[in-house]
């Protein structure tokens, strides 16, 4: 009976089916089998990448998020992988998607968008050894992207624009208030400075007047009767040279009334001079 030859490459295993039923496993190397009766299926044990395209996820607050996941896996048990599941890879994908939906469904939108690292770790822990039933082990899993839907993004952009405009209005109002405060402060300081200057000027003037009065009083305290008599004579002389015909004599000078004749003559001479001129 002729034999067939099968070479199993490194990091692969061969599953031998005899009359359509799995019989044994072949490791890497050269192997013989019986054609028509036996068939050899080759299963790779190498790590393989898998990309899960974007799909819809709903958050706790009913916001739609689009998520994409990439992972690396390898086959650990070729028999389970090949015979116990119709499509072990698709089963693994569905498991990952289901757990991610569960995690996202327990979080609010803001929490989802800010916790990608935590979600990724929780998803990896949730998957754990569950894929063993498919003969597969997930070596690495990573959430590539979590983005709000287009409608949510438009609403967020509108809210962001409104927040920026409101903040700008607040900043302008605060700037105006600060400007008014500074202007009022400057005006108040100017008024205080003016008042202080006026008060200082008034004080200086009062001090000068007081000084003048004090000096006059000092001079008067040192003056004798001769000084006051001289002042009286000068006053009467000025009065005689004026246009008036009345002479004012102090009552405390009654003992000098005899001198009035002289004052009268002076007054008469003054009037005659004025008439001659006229």
Query: Average pLDDT in the 220-235 region?
Result: 64
Residues 12 and 28 in one domain: yes
Name beta bridge partners: 223.
Answer: none
How far is it, in rounded angstroms, from Cα 223 to Cα 141?
118
Residues 53 and 141 in one domain: yes
In a domain, 49, yes or no: yes
Residue 257 has pLDDT above 50, yes or no: no
What the block records as the tokens of 91 is 């089963």
pLDDT tens digits for range 32-74: 989 889 999 999 999 999 999 888 899 998 888 999 999 999 9
Final residue belonging to a domain, choices 147, 174, 196: 147
Residues 142 and 56 in one domain: yes
pLDDT band at 249 (very low <50, low <70, confident <90, very high): low
pLDDT tens digits for range 155-183: 767 877 777 778 878 888 888 888 888 88
In a domain, 245, yes or no: no
Is the Cβ–Cβ distance between 50 and 137 less than 8 Å? Answer: no
Q: Indicate the DSSP class of residue 107.
A: S
Domain of 86, CATH number, reads 3.30.479.30
CB atoms closer than 10 angstroms to residue 263 = 15
Residues 86 and 25 in one domain: no
Distance (Å) of CA 228 to CA 214, 254, 268: 19, 16, 26
pLDDT tens digits for range 97-140: 999 999 999 999 888 888 888 999 999 888 888 888 899 999 99
pLDDT band at 252 (very low <50, low <70, confident <90, very high): low
Residues 19 and 103 in one domain: no
Q: What radius of gyration do the chain's Cα atoms show? A: 60
How far is it, in rounded angstroms, from Cα 95 to Cα 53?
15
pLDDT band at 224 (very low <50, low <70, confident <90, very high): low
What average pLDDT does the structure give for the chain? 81
What's the pLDDT score for residue 225?
A: 62
Final residue belonging to a domain, choices 117, 147, 177: 147
- CA torsion 273-275-276-278 (nearest 10°) is 120
Query: What contacts 24, CB < 8 A, 6 or more positions away?
Result: 16
Domain that holds residue 13: 2-42
Q: Indicate the DSSP class of residue 253.
A: G
What's the pLDDT score for residue 138?
A: 92
Query: What contacts 255, CB < 8 A, 6 or more positions away?
Result: none
User: How many domains does the chain divide into?
Assistant: 2
Residue 78 has pLDDT above 70, yes or no: yes
Residues 30 and 119 in one domain: no
Residues 84 and 17 in one domain: no
Query: Average pLDDT in the 201-224 region?
Result: 78
What's the pLDDT score for residue 83?
A: 92
How far is it, in rounded angstroms, from Cα 30 to Cα 6?
6
Residues 78 and 134 in one domain: yes
CB environment 53-85: b (16+ within 10 A), e (fewer) = eeeebebeeebebbbebebebebebbebbbeeb
Determine the Cα angle at 91 with ends 103 and 123, to 5°. 25
Final residue belonging to a domain, choices 121, 147, 173: 147
Residue from 278, 251, 245, 250 nearest 264 by CA: 245
What's the pLDDT score for residue 222?
A: 64
What's the pLDDT score for residue 152?
A: 77
- The DSSP bridge pattern shows strands 29-33 and 21-26 to be unpaired
Q: Give me the percent of the chain exceeding a pLDDT of 70.
A: 78
Which residue blocks in the chain are alpha helix, DSSP H? 78-79, 88-105, 109-113, 116-127, 150-221, 225-240, 260-277
Residues 29 and 54 in one domain: no
Query: What contacts 270, CB < 8 A, 6 or more positions away?
Result: 240, 241
Residues 140 and 61 in one domain: yes
Is the Cβ–Cβ distance between 65 and 147 less than 8 Å? Answer: yes
How far is it, in rounded angstroms, from Cα 56 to Cα 64?
7
What the block records as the tokens of 194 is 């003016």
């Amino acid at each position: 009976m002729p034999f067939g030859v099968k070479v199993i490459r490194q990091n692969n295993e061969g599953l031998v089916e005899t009359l359509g039923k799995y019989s044994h496993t072949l490791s890497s190397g050269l192997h013989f089998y019986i054609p028509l009766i036996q068939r050899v299926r080759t299963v790779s044990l190498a790590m393989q990448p898998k990309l899960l395209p974007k799909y819809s996820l709903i958050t706790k607050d009913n916001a739609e998020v689009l998520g994409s996941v990439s992972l690396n896996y390898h086959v650990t048990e070729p028999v389970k992988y090949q015979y116990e599941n119709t499509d072990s890879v698709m089963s693994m994908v569905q498991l990952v998607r289901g757990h991610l939906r569960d995690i996202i469904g327990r979080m609010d939108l803001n929490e989802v968008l800010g916790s990608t690292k935590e979600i990724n770790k929780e998803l990896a822990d949730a998957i754990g050894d569950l894929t063993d039933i498919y003969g597969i082990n997930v070596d690495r899993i990573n959430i590539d992207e979590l983005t709000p839907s287009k409608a949510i993004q438009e609403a967020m952009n509108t809210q962001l624009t409104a927040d920026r405009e409101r903040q700008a209005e607040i900043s302008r109002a605060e700037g105006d208030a600060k400007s008014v405060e500074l202007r009022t402060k400057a005006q108040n300081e100017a008024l205080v400075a003016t008042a202080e200057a006026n008060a200082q000027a008034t004080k200086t003037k009062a001090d000068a007047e007081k000084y003048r009065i004090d000096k006059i009083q000092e001079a008067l305290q040192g003056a004798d009767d001769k000084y006051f008599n001289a002042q009286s004579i000068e006053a009467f002389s000025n009065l005689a040279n004026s246009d008036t015909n009345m002479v004012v004599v102090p009552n405390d000078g009654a003992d000098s009334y005899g001198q009035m004749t002289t004052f009268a003559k002076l007054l008469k001479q003054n009037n005659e001079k004025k008439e001659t001129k006229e």
